[in-house]
Structure 1
């Protein structure tokens, strides 16, 4: 399907029928399609019924407007749209590829004794000779080499109807190797009553208007986006150009990485004049250069060989030259190594007469010797003498004097008032350091002064600071540095606790500012909230988030599905130039986070409650490889489960042709049931080890982790990583104890904007909160957050203008705004969590 139709379908769950039909391709990309879609297209009603039934098998329903629109198509058009819809639905759950584990009869045929299984493999590898009896059973003429590894395999000792790979090395075999005995195809899983959540697909009558709304919402977002959403934005702007040029002109873009994507599209289309107006700092320029050279505008991965056309180089130098020298120096020094490489392309010293400020800044960051006897040296020394606060000369070289160094010097000398005075000029920096400043000298930052500062701070920073301030020191601190693999570390929390009075005053200032902003938004008649939002962490930055079926913020807690069994799955396909060996593993810990066992390729069964499908060591196209791991929740022998994906041979996930993992409720029949999938996430980026979640079997909850572990070398596996995994699990429990939740964020919106708030409780009951006469906004918000003073409601009243829910299974007016973690209906205008946060911008 077209890029526009795919993006709208995936992000908004709406079908742009005309855009699908306009796509010149006759078929979707190669993938496994359902048999029902190969319909006899002479009968449109029958074809539409078949399409509905097929989509229902993947937990998707057609809305009434969409069904009406599809019914108006002719047979060929319906078949085309149906194929594309089904292909997308299968990709969403991961069923579009064939899942073939090592043991095709998994879980029944998995060996009970992994050590004995290993010994038999090694014994065969070392002692078996061609044209000799089998070393295991003694039979003659039963040993043959398999392709492509050429290991000698006995057809009596190894079941060719069960194995999908070489029994010795577990490498995928050539599909037509004689050792492989075809097995009957598994039956389709039985479908019972519709007691599971489904998503309703809406109809998009105006794709351009929908694209504009989506693009503008992404451009206006106040938190950094993950890479896949930047790709969506880039695709929307590129596809809709030149219409999208007007969207850029009329939209304020607060996040710098998003700005780089937008300006990159404009620059690629020759609209270079917009760069002068939008590039405000040197880091903005650097992000744009990264975007144009195919690197990450978040500056986490760097371009291999940057190359820029001459007109763009002139514009870049002109933008840098008009910036204030102190800020320019700091920005270049903050990203010194990337700027040194970019200087090799920009050649700023050759243009020092036209762009002297830019040339001076590059000379300082590169440590260029300045000789007063040359024209370049005289010009640079004269300019430096006019800016002693920004640059100084040391041993014949220029050196920058930065804002950060002045702040650190003031803190080291215990001149806390001076440090606060410096930081107050940059409110964002002050709020980032708020917890540190309150511990060092709370008297230097009284509530009144803090209240003045926070009026200019982005809401994401306020939420992050609020969570840090009110989280008392615990056992562990978790650090997730900004980087391409988000490597973490944890240390014992030895900080002194903040005084209760300081915490209360600071919380009142930060929350009060967010409430003030909410009160300034257009009023709402009625708001609908869900108590389950208290389990969801509000996003403050999503740049490292994994693309997933259910979009969860790191630290969010969700219940384990009501099932006796879970099945984790992993699928990947390797490029033609490399062999990639991924491993799906689970580490088990007791309630004190002591290591209690593992289930992986070295231990295929653990205590009868964990079962691994076997280790595949290659994944050639087109089949790829799949691994599964079953968990019996009835009698677990441990409290915490930590599933983990390893790249055994140290190949980054970004080199895969495709790769994804997830978990499902155990299907009644069949290996992979799309209706049982509860989470599916992509494997990508430079990471080599991913921990997606931590499961607590006692409370039957899952905490979303989405963390990559540091890795180097060869042979990554659970053995040797137990302490690191235990540290991660412990730290996750402490790190998100008092973070701001979606419940609080939604309550601020409701208290500031509505007179009446309806809350759906966890038991499904409804209660109503009404603002009391003369009640201040802060008091109403406190009552909502504490869930106190409500009246029972029997029936959900109409006229809901804003709904924030876990399950979006409520019919609301078409103009209502709806945030739902699980968007199960097409009603209302869909919001993301970041959209609620962006509404509280200063």
Structure 2
């Protein structure tokens, strides 16, 4: 028998189900068939090495996982451990080589970039004095080439004297100093002193002190993957890009009987289109019966064809021209036209006109006029869309189906139809709120989206009067059918205080998260008009919170920090991130006095790409206080330090930039806000890069003070991919006074290249100010609103952990209505008695619980079961599957209307 060897881990990335389950469940699958009867001695030695590698990344295997790994053969443990480390590095962004331009960053960074440039040029000129003049090209010691002050470019004295006007550098145009030469002239270079090395932060403030648990997957990989697939398909809120990638991968690897595994209802239409497109690829025309059953609108058909062509089924403007649709067989064309024919003529015509350009492309595939006798309604809808001249068309269109009609346009007969949106806009334009309300009553979602507009028009037409009498009755019938997104959006919009001329922020629909702000000088909706509507929405949210509870929990634990977390919205344009933070959320900064921002990118082989990590500093009134970027590497007394500017990132290593922020020093220097920005200096969109990501981390150091490198895996707090047709990204805004940051995940418009803080600082200040106002808790629905409503209905006993760690208890009185209890809890009024002194694990032990936490930093209470939402991982993640994990989208989805 050959002698066993110690385990050696080969770190690599293996994008398979293991990576998927590690990211979504923080769990590792071990095949029971591979387990030995007892722990292998050599595997135990290798497991010790794996423990150390995992701890360096901020993770700790649970007892169950470690016991299973110890029973693997040494070579199998080496293979699984290497893959695990590679997956973790990929998630954290530390699987790339991060080398700052200044190798001993932050200590070796000069005070300003110009000093570094001057030092390099002086050294170069001393060692190689025969350099050419930038203007005349002469060279040689007798010419007397010198370095200009202050730019350090090369020029000879004769060219300097020959200039007209004020002396300036011919290379950059800067006006020269009174003594025009830094080196080579009369002025001597000033000796530069290295900055003092800062003291090391206290160990208690370092990140990574609490290791995140890795647990053993309680079921096999395939069963777990199918459970995740079902969860994604049945989710009642839109999927973010990461979830969409997961859905596509799971569908591609699903078993052959995919049609039988699809749930009875797929609520989100884009999700349904992706699933049906995969079914169509597999089964072709055989899938037509399933398609005919599940495609209920014309837009469903359009989304299906988009997904079938490999595109996102969002139907965003401008994508139709770029997409190459797949050809369809004749039976498939007839089947899809049959689906369109079975729809009401009015809805069919309106859906086609809503997405005119995509349907014109699809019409080239379906050939509806070839089947005009078999499918006359579908053919008439396309004739309306194309503006077909009826005088030259076939006689089938002479009698179009109602409500289509024939009109004369420029002396020619064409089909016409007045759509729903046109009717509503016409009624609101003339101030007929009752008529508009009657139309909107047929479409509850559109009614809720237009509530603010409707109330504003009513206030213009009848100032000082209450809302229309019929509004209450219409809302009582409509609200139960509205999705949680529009409902929470209207709730946040109407409940907050408003003023004339206030700034409003708009987020156009698209794959890139752009935001536009403007002043709103329209009529303000008074509280007397909005309050009844807000009360009706709150009552509906409470009703749904009670209706979606499968089993009543015994206790609920809420985190007060959730008051700063916005409910997810515009998830389709959210960036893929290590931690899924809803856009606009305001969260505490990591412990410690310093924060490290990072950026990594890799350019294509054929194109140079220069990304720049920058920080813009502003005061309380958004006046610009300073900048830390490639033009100024050090701000203040090293309050902000840049690692140096890379102007290219050739593969395979790419390039990385960092900025260290000393929070106390920045505040002392008069800065209130620090805005993190990533610029594409030479105007290359992020989506053209093979890889680009950014994020932030704590400052992690060894006990002896030796640094672990510029980016420590266990110190990484957030990692976000840079994607989309954008060139300026604003990931976050740091409030230095409150020691909190707002996760923005936004982009600004940019053209013509050469982007920098100096060029965009006013735009960034306006955007940042608008973002903080727009996402203020009193103006937006928050996860605290959702969690407190659910907890009030879930149980009569609710524990709330405050921002200072104090735990208070709320109990519902026997005669207290649930609505009043929920309102008291949401506002955190009148807790029951003094702060709770018993440890939380003891209060939760053996009980069914509903937990919503910012940090999963509690030990696992024995026997706890129920539901858990947490933003950041922690020891509580080691809980078994009996404590079901929720995402922010899952919390919002609990408010979905009953099917």
Q: Structure 1 length as normaliser, TM-score?
A: 0.87
Q: Residues of 1 paired with 2:234 and 2:794: CA distance?
A: 21
Q: Residues of 1 paired with 2:626 and 2:853: CA distance?
A: 38
Secondary structure at the counterpart of residue 31 of structure 2: helix
Q: Find out whether 1:820 has 2:849 as its counterpart.
A: no
2:695 equivalent in structure 1: 662
1:217 equivalent in structure 2: 231
CA contact (8 A) 1:484 1:687 kept: no
2:627 equivalent in structure 1: 598
Task: Please state how far the C-alpha of 1:462 moved relative to its aligned partner.
Answer: 0.8
Q: Find out whether 1:532 has 2:548 as its counterpart.
A: no
1:159 equivalent in structure 2: none
Secondary structure at the counterpart of residue 428 of structure 1: helix
Task: Go from structure 1 to structure 2 and tell me whether the alpha carbon gap of 1:7 and 1:705 turns closer, same or farther (over 3 Å shift).
Answer: same
Q: Max radius of gyration: which structure? A: 2
Render the CA deviation track for 1:671-701: whole Å, top value 9, x for unaligned. 1111221211111122222111111111111
CA contact (8 A) 1:103 1:110 kept: yes
Q: Find out whether 1:425 has 2:442 as its counterpart.
A: yes
Task: Go from structure 1 to structure 2 and tell me whether the alpha carbon gap of 1:529 and 1:47 turns closer, same or farther (over 3 Å shift).
Answer: same
Render the CA deviation track for 1:53-81: whole Å, top value 9, x for unaligned. 21111111112222222122111111111
CA contact (8 A) 2:237 2:268 kept: yes
Task: Please state how far the C-alpha of 1:578 moved relative to its aligned partner.
Answer: 2.1
Q: How does 1:611-622 map to 2 (within 5 A)?
A: 611-622=641-652
1:680 equivalent in structure 2: 719
2:890 equivalent in structure 1: 835
Task: Please state how far the C-alpha of 1:476 moved relative to its aligned partner.
Answer: 1.2
1:160 equivalent in structure 2: none
> Which deviates more, 453-462 or 202-211?
202-211
Q: Residues of 2 paired with 1:19 and 1:299: CA distance?
A: 45
Candidates 388, 391, 398, aligned match of 2:415: 398
Secondary structure at the counterpart of residue 805 of structure 1: strand
CA contact (8 A) 2:676 2:733 kept: yes
Task: Please state how far the C-alpha of 1:371 moved relative to its aligned partner.
Answer: 2.4
1:761 equivalent in structure 2: 802
Q: Residues of 1 paired with 2:130 and 2:47: CA distance?
A: 61
Q: How does 1:705-784 map to 2 (within 5 A)?
A: 705-737=744-776, 738-784=779-825
> Which deviates more, 218-227 or 725-734?
218-227
Task: Go from structure 1 to structure 2 and tell me whether the alpha carbon gap of 1:290 and 1:131 turns closer, same or farther (over 3 Å shift).
Answer: farther
Q: Residues of 2 paired with 1:239 and 1:70: CA distance?
A: 27
Secondary structure at the counterpart of residue 801 of structure 1: strand
CA contact (8 A) 2:34 2:72 kept: no
Q: Residues of 2 paired with 1:115 and 1:194: CA distance?
A: 34
Render the CA deviation track for 1:430-479: whole Å, top value 9, x for unaligned. 00001111222222553343122101111121111100001222531111
Q: How does 1:27-106 map to 2 (within 5 A)?
A: 43-106=42-105
CA contact (8 A) 1:690 1:707 kept: yes
Q: Residues of 2 paired with 1:445 and 1:201: CA distance?
A: 56
Secondary structure at the counterpart of residue 680 of structure 1: strand
Candidates 311, 327, 330, aligned match of 2:347: 327
Q: Residues of 1 paired with 2:508 and 2:780: CA distance?
A: 18
Render the CA deviation track for 1:570-614: whole Å, top value 9, x for unaligned. 001112232221111111111111222222222222223222222
Candidates 451, 454, 458, aligned match of 2:483: 458
Candidates 240, 262, 267, aligned match of 2:275: 262
Q: How does 1:299-448 map to 2 (within 5 A)?
A: 299-300=315-316, 301-302=319-320, 303-310=322-329, 311-371=331-391, 374=393, 376=394, 378-383=395-400, 386-388=401-403, 392=407, 394=409, 395-441=412-458, 442-443=467-468, 446-448=471-473
Candidates 808, 833, 836, aligned match of 1:793: 836
- Unaligned residue ranges in structure 2 (runs of 5+): 1-13, 143-152, 155-170, 173-199, 459-466, 702-706
2:246 equivalent in structure 1: 232
Render the CA deviation track for 1:303-331: whole Å, top value 9, x for unaligned. 53212231443332222222111111111
Task: Go from structure 1 to structure 2 and tell me whether the alpha carbon gap of 1:371 and 1:566 turns closer, same or farther (over 3 Å shift).
Answer: same
Q: Residues of 2 paired with 1:457 and 1:20: CA distance?
A: 49
Q: Residues of 2 paired with 1:573 and 1:755: CA distance?
A: 54
Task: Go from structure 1 to structure 2 and tell me whether the alpha carbon gap of 1:283 and 1:444 turns closer, same or farther (over 3 Å shift).
Answer: farther
Task: Go from structure 1 to structure 2 and tell me whether the alpha carbon gap of 1:21 and 1:73 turns closer, same or farther (over 3 Å shift).
Answer: closer
Task: Go from structure 1 to structure 2 and tell me whether the alpha carbon gap of 1:325 and 1:292 turns closer, same or farther (over 3 Å shift).
Answer: same
Render the CA deviation track for 1:350-396: whole Å, top value 9, x for unaligned. 22222222222122222232225x4x2x112322xx32457755333
Q: Find out whether 1:625 has 2:644 as its counterpart.
A: no
CA contact (8 A) 2:553 2:850 kept: yes
Deviating 4+ runs (over 6 angstroms): 19-22, 119-125, 127-131, 134-140, 188-195
Q: CA RMSD in A?
A: 3.1
Task: Please state how far the C-alpha of 1:280 moved relative to its aligned partner.
Answer: 1.2
> Which deviates more, 461-470 or 569-578?
569-578
Secondary structure at the counterpart of residue 664 of structure 2: coil
2:179 equivalent in structure 1: none
- Unaligned residue ranges in structure 1 (runs of 5+): 23-40, 141-150, 153-167, 170-187
1:293 equivalent in structure 2: 309
CA contact (8 A) 2:588 2:741 kept: yes
CA contact (8 A) 2:26 2:214 kept: yes
Q: Structure 2 length as normaliser, TM-score?
A: 0.81
Task: Go from structure 1 to structure 2 and tell me whether the alpha carbon gap of 1:801 and 1:331 turns closer, same or farther (over 3 Å shift).
Answer: same
Render the CA deviation track for 1:412-435: whole Å, top value 9, x for unaligned. 122110100000100000000011
CA contact (8 A) 2:569 2:583 kept: no
Render the CA deviation track for 1:610-640: whole Å, top value 9, x for unaligned. 2222221211111101111121222213111
Render the CA deviation track for 1:778-797: whole Å, top value 9, x for unaligned. 01101211222323433231
Q: Find out whether 1:471 has 2:523 as its counterpart.
A: no
Task: Go from structure 1 to structure 2 and tell me whether the alpha carbon gap of 1:434 and 1:589 turns closer, same or farther (over 3 Å shift).
Answer: same
Secondary structure at the counterpart of residue 566 of structure 1: strand
CA contact (8 A) 1:320 1:328 kept: yes
Task: Go from structure 1 to structure 2 and tell me whether the alpha carbon gap of 1:450 and 1:774 turns closer, same or farther (over 3 Å shift).
Answer: same
2:30 equivalent in structure 1: 17
Q: How does 1:486-501 map to 2 (within 5 A)?
A: 486-501=513-528
2:686 equivalent in structure 1: 653
Q: Residues of 2 paired with 1:227 and 1:19: CA distance?
A: 33
Secondary structure at the counterpart of residue 631 of structure 1: strand
Task: Please state how far the C-alpha of 1:657 moved relative to its aligned partner.
Answer: 1.4
Task: Go from structure 1 to structure 2 and tell me whether the alpha carbon gap of 1:408 and 1:619 turns closer, same or farther (over 3 Å shift).
Answer: same
Task: Go from structure 1 to structure 2 and tell me whether the alpha carbon gap of 1:245 and 1:201 turns closer, same or farther (over 3 Å shift).
Answer: farther
2:291 equivalent in structure 1: 275
Number of residue pairs matched by the alignment = 775
Q: Residues of 1 paired with 2:297 and 2:515: CA distance?
A: 30
> Which deviates more, 49-58 or 359-368?
359-368
Task: Please state how far the C-alpha of 1:117 moved relative to its aligned partner.
Answer: 5.0
Secondary structure at the counterpart of residue 562 of structure 1: coil
1:607 equivalent in structure 2: 636
Task: Go from structure 1 to structure 2 and tell me whether the alpha carbon gap of 1:584 and 1:21 turns closer, same or farther (over 3 Å shift).
Answer: farther
2:609 equivalent in structure 1: 580
1:35 equivalent in structure 2: none
Q: Residues of 2 paired with 1:282 and 1:106: CA distance?
A: 58
Render the CA deviation track for 1:797-828: whole Å, top value 9, x for unaligned. 13132111111223254642110011322312
